[in-house]
Amino acid sequence: MRIVHVSDCYAPRTGGIESQVRDLARAQVAAGHEVHVLTATPGAAGQRRGEIDDDDGVRVHRLGTHVPFDLPINPAAPPRMRSLLRELAPDAVHVHAGVVSPFAFDGARVAVEAGAPTAITWHCMLDGIAPVLRQGVARTRWRAAPVALSAVSRPAADRVAQVFGRDVAVVPNGMDLERWAPPPASRVERPADAPLRCVATMRLAPRKRGRALVDVVEDAMTQLEPGALRLDVLGDGPLRAGLERRVRRRGLADVVHLRGRVARDAVRAAYTDADVFVAPATLEAFGIAALEARAAGLVVLARRGTGIEGFVTHGVDGVLVDDDACMARWLVRLATEPGLLAGLAARARGDRPVFDWDHALAAAEAEYRRARDLGFQKLL
């Protein structure tokens, strides 16, 4: 099968969409498919005028332009997209959308106009903008366009369904579960008098709610003895300096440690040494960092109503809460009730999540078939 992915963002940029599109494309190549990526992200050496990179067998077409900060946008890209789709004649075009994805949406429009089987996957939560988008879709041809709509989790898909008034499937993110699995007997059980070892991996940006995380820890520490809890925050971003000041002002310098961006091997090592993964975000469409922690056998403490619900079961292998105050209370319980923590941890290690690449590839290929069938129905 010849597959063309369309994504505003791709490596060398780092982030959720770009990492998942890259990993999905590489997995499809490994499965025997011919895979191309159209992206507005410049290459490592600044390629942006249609140059083609070979990324472990994935043919990456760099269709960016000169804009400040190398932002992944190019309003002039559609003619080149049309030319490439005529040349490649793909069996499926897979568009990857975020809240703001002008390049991807241009690609979707071009693909539909070209009559290519088109699947669109949302990697975001549409909270707050769904009513506006619904009005826009109702006034355009997109409501009846022959495209297969999906999102990376059921909560995210439900928001897309509100916009289009149509069935929306789930194409989950995938990962190498074995790469994150802890070595046998690698985890040392926490002594009763040891601190609860917590970790959070996130971009330090507003959507991830780093400030709220510091506030949750402060709330928990008002109910705990000094030294009862430790939190390592892995990741970097524009809010780091402000979070460092917030930690100092709240007197949490001995509790919250901002470690910055670290390599994946260091992340895995941090998970081996931790008890609980904390995910305060409320607009988490999937939660790949939480899935990695879950695969590593950590107890995941997260907000309810996000994509994390797809691989964490409340009270069985993790904890899902409705608000920040409840999250703080659960931190207190996990720090003071070793039997509770041990039971959740045992089930988290024993019941592996199912989001491996076989699962993700099968879901994507089902959407390609659905896109093809929708196109045939449109012709009838």
pLDDT digits (tens, 9 = 90+) for 258-285: 999 998 899 999 999 999 999 999 999 9
Neighbours of 359 (CB within 10 A): 17
Using alpha carbons, select from 195, 184, 186 the residue that is nearest to residue 338. 195
Gap between the Cα atoms of 187 and 340, Å rounded: 17
pLDDT given at position 347: 95
More confident residue, 253 or 143: 253
Q: pLDDT tens, 312-334? A: 999 999 999 999 999 999 999 99
Mean pLDDT of 111-131: 93
Asked if the model's pLDDT at residue 222 lies above 80, the reply is yes
Average pLDDT for 251-264: 94
Quote the CA–CA distance of 53 and 36 in Å, as a whole number.
Answer: 10
This prediction's pTM: 0.90
Q: How far apart are CA 289 and CA 357, in angstroms?
A: 16
Using alpha carbons, select from 79, 57, 58, 78 the residue that is nearest to residue 10: 58
What is the pLDDT confidence band of residue 78, given thresholds at 50, 70 and 90?
very high
Q: How distant, in Å, are the alpha carbons of 42, 59, 155, 180 from that of 56?
A: 17, 8, 33, 22
What token pair was written down for 258?
């901002």
Eight-state DSSP code of residue 70: G
Over residues 29-58, the pLDDT tens digits come to: 999 999 999 999 999 988 888 999 999 999
% of the chain surpassing 90 pLDDT: 80
What's the pLDDT at 69?
Answer: 75
> What rounded mean pLDDT belongs to the chain?
93
pLDDT at 159: 94
pLDDT at 379 exceeding the cut of 60: no
pLDDT of residue 14: 76
Q: What is the pLDDT of residue 188?
A: 60
Extract the runs of DSSP E, i.e. beta strands, from the chain.
2-7, 34-39, 52-55, 58-62, 92-97, 118-122, 147-151, 169-170, 196-201, 229-234, 256-260, 276-279, 299-303, 318-321
In what side-by-side order are the strands of the sheet with 299-303? 256-260, 229-234, 196-201, 276-279, 299-303, 318-321
Task: Please report the pLDDT score of residue 106 as a whole number.
Answer: 96
Average pLDDT over residues 116-121: 98
Find the angle CA(208)-CA(122)-CA(361) to the nearest 5 degrees: 110
Choice between 71 and 2, residue whose per-residue pLDDT is larger: 2
Say what the pLDDT of residue 380 is. Answer: 45
Q: Cis (ω within 30 of 0) for the bond into 182?
A: no
Per-residue pLDDT of 124-168, as tens digits, reads 999 888 888 888 888 888 888 999 999 999 999 999 999 999 999
Going along the chain from its start, the domains and CATH numbers come out as 2-174+357-379 (3.40.50.2000), 177-350 (3.40.50.2000)
- Residues 6-34: pLDDT tens digits? 999 999 987 788 889 999 999 999 999 99
pLDDT at 348: 95
Can you give the pLDDT at residue 185?
62
